[in-house]
Amino acid sequence: MPDTSPTPLESIQQAAEQVRQQLNLKTFDAEAVAHLDNFIEAQRGVLPAAERDGVVMALGCFLGQCMVQVYRAEWGTGKDGSTGVGLAGRFFFNPFYLVNSQLNEGETASVAAFFASVPQRLKTPPAARKTWIS
């Protein structure tokens, strides 16, 4: 009997779609991330500890999917084994960490501000590799 369970990528995409529908958003774009930012702020201080991990997971899937759609990022696994999105073969961002940071720190760790910073990050040339050994 074939395995019909979703792949990890399908599970992430399904979770992102559920968040999109629950927040009544049209698409995965910058406007949706701004709404997500406001939603996270509204949850700070009222989110029950027992629900936090699930909320971080769901909202992180949504944030990551917005990065995939807007910035042509790709879901993948980082060097440390974490799940996140890769951009331009140079960057790897963990959207779950970003959501959790805003829940902990508030607007100083805004997911919307981070999202808006991505184009500038992409324009910054990669750091030159040092050819000497220290």
pLDDT for res 50: 96
The whole-angstrom separation of Cα 60 and Cα 27 is 15
- List of the chain residues with pLDDT < 50: none
pLDDT for res 108: 97
pLDDT for res 4: 78
Instruction: Dump pLDDT digits (tens) for 18-49.
Output: 999 999 999 999 999 999 999 999 999 899 99
pLDDT for res 110: 98
Hey, CA dihedral for 28, 112, 119, 129, is it positive or negative?
A: negative
